[in-house]
Structure 1
Amino acid sequence: MASVAPTLHGTTGSAGSARPVVVLLHGGKVASHDPVRPWHLSYLRMVPIARMLRRAVGRDADVVLLRYRYRGWNGAERSPVADAQWAIETLLRAREPGARVVLVGHSMGGRTAAAVAGHPAVAGVVALAPWWPSGTETDTMAPGSRLLVVHGTRDRWTDATLSDAATSRAARRGVVARFVSMAGAGHFMLHRSWRWSRLTRDAVRDVLFAPDSAARDGIRPADRPI
């Protein structure tokens, strides 16, 4: 197995910065130790979202896209989880204590985000068509943190029903959680791509700029298919 390292793309912050950071986590495969290349579609899918977020919050937060070492989740190895943990610690090292982290993940990136959401700096997660095979992935999230899950009704790669169940499960634990069902959308966020982007932008802003006291316990009513 070739030696590879995860990489961060975007502004990582200067020493002593109190700026929050948004970390984008791309999708991948069930099993693969092939290195992630910048031309892989799973990675490229997050590039326009990163650009959009930089335009939306770039004056107030750093936006960073993580490229994993390997393309696969790889069972108990959970390869991207170690990379995401490394990314969070690397980014926080240049920041003052208390800096917030928001995670935005698509597919396997949504599973990775949930796996590291228990880090005390993580204030919120945006999971786009997440790969949550057990429906319990959100058990890592702290009460009062924020969660948006968006899933298409025609997704054939990951299970929207399990995403909905995991969102409700998080809400029962005190996470401020919202599930949005995207009517007619598949897995790759192509159908009404503007809507995926707008929901992501608004959720990230909600985490970054809403005062902690505004957090509400329980689940917001699930949106109708849109």
Structure 2
Amino acid sequence: MTAAAAPALEHAAAPVPARAVALFCHGGTVESVQPPRERALSLLRMRAVEEHVRRDVGPRGLDTYLLRYRVAGWNGLAADAFADVRWALEQIRDRHGDGVPVVLVGHSMGGRAVLRAGGEPGVAAVCALAPWTPPGEPVGHLRGHTAVLLHGRGDRWVPASLSAEYAVRARRAGARIARFTVAGGHSMVRRSRVWHGLVRDVVLAGAGFAPERPDVRAALDAPAPEGLAVALDLRRP
């Protein structure tokens, strides 16, 4: 068997010294020890999200990183994507120091990985898009931490019921968590502007560049289940 390649980070530096960092983590599959394909749709989708956020944030001092996993699969107890996210956070701390807040953004398997890493040192907030959160996924580490989830109500790859059940358990464990839903499926192609806009706003707030936008703050403060199944306002830019 060929040894897995090392993980890698695609780095886009801000035009001014970094005051915060956003780490973007793409999706994958349940089982695979093959490296992700260069043209994998999951990677292209997350690169589009990263580019949109970077363009919208502008010259405020946000460095962005896109994580390239060693292998395409989660692979059971190995939790390879989570291991790679932890590796990426170590690299970011080495480059930027411990005082720079990091916002984690992940889609599908990447959503599971960033939620699993939500209690790591330096993580200011997590934004999980259509996250794959199977029953029994740990939640206790999110106590006192902020996570915002968005899921398509028609998702056939990762049913929205999974993130709903996860959000309820995380709220009970003491997480500061909000969950939004939107019409559409798993790919984030339908209403991409809405997906991108929520990520941008969660990143801005987690980085300390802007206050939490009103609908996110209201959902975070609302009791379960009201704050865990909010239909996203499609009128927002």
Bin of the TM-score, shorter chain as denominator length: 0.7 to 0.9
Cα deviations by residue, 1:39-77 (Å, 9 ceiling, x for unpaired) = 111111111111011112353211110010101111111
User: 1:190 corresponds to which letter in structure 2?
Assistant: V
- Within 5 A, what are the aligned runs for 1:40-59? 40-58=40-58, 59=60
CA contact (8 A) 1:8 1:65 kept: yes
CA contact (8 A) 1:136 1:169 kept: no
Partner of 2:187 in structure 1?
188
Partner of 2:109 in structure 1?
108
Deviation at 1:18, TM superposition (A): 6.0
User: 2:230 corresponds to which letter in structure 1?
Assistant: D
- Within 5 A, what are the aligned runs for 1:142-221? 142-143=143-144, 145-183=145-183, 185-209=184-208, 219=223, 221=227
Structure-2-length-normalised TM-score: 0.84
Alignment length (residue pairs): 219
Cα separation, partners in 2 of 1:72 and 1:12, compared to 1, 3 Å:
farther
CA contact (8 A) 2:50 2:64 kept: yes
Gaps of 5+ in 1: none
Cα deviations by residue, 1:173-205 (Å, 9 ceiling, x for unpaired) = 33322111112x001111111111111111111
Cα deviations by residue, 1:114-170 (Å, 9 ceiling, x for unpaired) = 121121211111110000011644332130x22111111110111211212222332
CA contact (8 A) 1:174 1:218 kept: no
Cα separation, partners in 2 of 1:167 and 1:67, compared to 1, 3 Å:
same
Task: Answer with 199-208 or 160-169: which moved more.
Answer: 160-169
Distance 1:192 1:9 in 2: 26
Cα separation, partners in 2 of 1:142 and 1:123, compared to 1, 3 Å:
farther
CA RMSD of aligned residues (A): 2.3
- Give the SS at the match of 1:34: coil
Gaps of 5+ in 2: none
Distance 2:37 2:44 in 1: 9
Deviation at 1:171, TM superposition (A): 2.6
Percent of aligned pairs sharing the same letter: 41
User: 2:55 corresponds to which letter in structure 1?
Assistant: R
Partner of 1:73 in structure 2?
74
Deviation at 1:217, TM superposition (A): 5.8
Distance 2:198 2:18 in 1: 25
